[in-house]
Amino acid sequence: MDKQRTLYLVAYDVCDPKRLHRVCRYLTGFKVGGQKSVFEIWATDSELRQIRAELDELMDAGEDRLHILALDPRMKTRCMGQARRFEQNFFSIL
């Protein structure tokens, strides 16, 4: 099993306030950065499959939108305003 983590950008637009709260609360457990409805998460392939399956249950495919984009780790991060880079040498998801 591959344990290599990849940095993903997860963006969502949820129409129903109850679903919105559930999706936000769920993704907050994985995020290392982001704001409002756009989060940065580090995940293995198996974790990403689990995240997608959970979001399929939490969201309504007919009304809501979800984008999960793998980010190229070779690209330099550009932060503006109050944005900060994720600078920890390690992290854990509990």
Tokens of 81: 């305003």
- C-alpha–C-alpha distance, residues 24 and 42, integer Å: 16
pLDDT at 39 over 80: yes
Express each pLDDT in 59-84 by its tens digit.
Answer: 999 999 999 999 887 877 666 666 55
pLDDT at 85 over 70: no
Give the bridge partners for 21, in sequence order.
Answer: none
pLDDT value at residue 87: 57
Element (H, E) at 14: none
Domain ranges of the chain: 24-65
